[in-house]
């Protein structure tokens, strides 16, 4: 199966009617991932930039599903992977499955760090650098710990793994973590898609994705 284009990925995402807040987060993750993939390619490291962009844009798609949707019974990430597979894009499933932060506490994480496709690691790292804006790795984890104090021990374990992932992804992109930014494309791509008949997101304002 061909990896979806930017317009196709946007169409898939908007078909779920994500909330403005969720849409903003997925936009930032997609644009951080796009920046990392661009810099990685510029450094001479092979990377599938389309896969990175579209998987990053759709990484939290399961959070947009209604509470009574059958796939909501699956763990986060696995539900999104199942949804994109049902939508005809199984090539995105593995990358979406891998991104949740608690994946970093699983027994096979060392193997994943060493052997997972670079595209998968870029999307996973991009999610750890984004809320409604670009944040540091520590800011992201501190936010999780404030919201989920019951998981502080596991999150601290995951933070150690995330730092190793950060080192690897930034090394491939030949940048420092403080140089991570957004390669803005979602807003322009959506404007183009809407101009050609794709319904826009609910609650969109002029400042969205800018």
pTM of the model: 0.92
Phi, psi of 73 (to 5 degrees): -75, -15
Phi, psi of 134 (to 5 degrees): -75, 130
Phi, psi of 108 (to 5 degrees): -90, 15
- CA–CA gap between residue 115 and residue 21 (Å, rounded): 33
Q: Decide yes or no: CATH 1.10.3210 for domain 6-195.
A: yes
For 58-111, write each residue's pLDDT tens digit: 999 999 999 999 999 999 999 999 999 999 999 999 999 999 999 999 999 999
- The residue among 6 and 205 whose pLDDT is bigger is 6
Tokens 């190793």, residue located? 164
In which band, very low, low, confident or very high, does the pLDDT at 189 lie, cut at 50, 70 and 90? confident
Cα–Cα nearest to 193, from 10, 33, 5: 10
Cα–Cα nearest to 204, from 63, 56, 32, 27: 27
In which band, very low, low, confident or very high, does the pLDDT at 197 lie, cut at 50, 70 and 90? low
């Amino acid at each position: 199966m061909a990896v979806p284009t930017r317009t196709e990925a946007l169409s898939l995402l908007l078909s779920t009617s994500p909330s403005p807040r969720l849409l903003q987060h997925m936009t930032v993750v997609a644009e951080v991932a796009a920046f990392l993939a661009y810099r990685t390619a510029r450094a001479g490291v092979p990377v599938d930039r389309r896969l990175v962009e579209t998987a990053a844009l759709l990484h939290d798609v399961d959070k947009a599903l209604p509470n009574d949707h059958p796939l909501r019974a699956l763990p986060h990430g696995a539900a999104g992977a199942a949804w994109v597979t049902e939508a005809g894009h199984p090539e995105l499933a593995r990358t979406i499955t891998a991104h949740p932060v608690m994946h970093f506490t699983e027994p096979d994480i060392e193997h994943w760090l060493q052997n997972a496709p670079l595209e998968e690691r870029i999307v996973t790292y991009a999610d750890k650098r984004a809320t409604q804006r670009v944040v540091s790795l520590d800011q992201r984890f501190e936010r999780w710990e404030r919201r989920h104090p019951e998981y502080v021990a596991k999150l601290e374990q995951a933070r150690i793994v995330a730092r190793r992932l950060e080192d690897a992804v930034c090394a491939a992109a030949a940048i420092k973590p403080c140089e991570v930014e957004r390669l803005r494309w979602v807003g322009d791509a959506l404007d183009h898609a809407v101009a050609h008949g794709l319904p826009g997101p609910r609650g969109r304002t002029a400042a969205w994705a800018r």
